[in-house]
Structure 1
Amino acid sequence: MAYMPVCVQCGTHSNPCRCKVLGPTLGFVAFVVAGAVEWPLGALVYLFRHRKGRRIMSHPANVVYPRITSAIPI
C-alpha cells in the first residue's frame, strides 16, 4: 500500500472555497524531489563556496514549493 501525502491550506483567497489541496500537495512532492537532488549538491558546493552552497540548499524551500503552490489555485 503506497502512502501519498496530502497537504491542505485553508484561509486562502485564491478560490471560492478558501481551501487548497492540489497545489500544496504537488508543491510538497516537488519540494522533496528537488531537495533530494539539490541538498547533496549544495552540501558539496558548501565545502568550497559557503554562500552559494546555502543558496542551492535553500532553493527548494524558497523557490520550488512557493511557485508550484501558488500556480495551482485549487
Structure 2
Amino acid sequence: MAGGVGVPICVQCGTRSNPCRCKVVGPTVGFLAFAAAALVEWPVGALVYCFKHIKGRRIMAHPADVVYPSVSRAIPI
C-alpha cells in the first residue's frame, strides 16, 4: 500500500517562451507560490471584506491576478 502526498505538477503547452513550447517548472513554482500567498491573503481578505468589500475582494484576488502569473512568466522552462 503506497500512500503519501504528491507534489503538484503543472504543464503549460503552446507557449513561445522556449524552444520546446512547453513549460513545467514555471507553472509548478507559480502554483506553489499561489498556494502560499493564498494561505495568508485569503483569511486577511475575508476579514477586510467585512468592512470594505472592494478592498477585501482585491486582497483575495491578488494570488490569482498577480502572484501566479508573475512567477510563472519569470521562469521560462
- In the TM superposition, structure 1's runs of 4+ consecutive aligned residues that sit over 3 Å from their partners are none
CA distance in 2, matches of 1:29, 1:69: 10
Long gaps (5+) in structure 2:
none
Query: Structure 1: which 5+ residue stretches go unaligned?
Result: none
Report the alpha carbon displacement of residue 3 of structure 1 after superposing the two structures with TM: 1.1
RMSD of aligned Cα (Å): 0.6
TM-score using structure 2 length: 0.94
Structure 1 counterpart of 2:24, one-letter code: V
Structure index of larger Rg: 2
- Equivalent of residue 36 in structure 2, options 33, 44, 69: 33
> How do 1:26-65 residues align onto structure 2 when only pairs under 5 Å count?
26-65=29-68
For 1:13, which of 13, 16, 22 is the aligned residue?
A: 16
Counterpart of 1:24 in structure 2 is: 27
Residue 2 of structure 1: how far off its partner (Å): 3.7
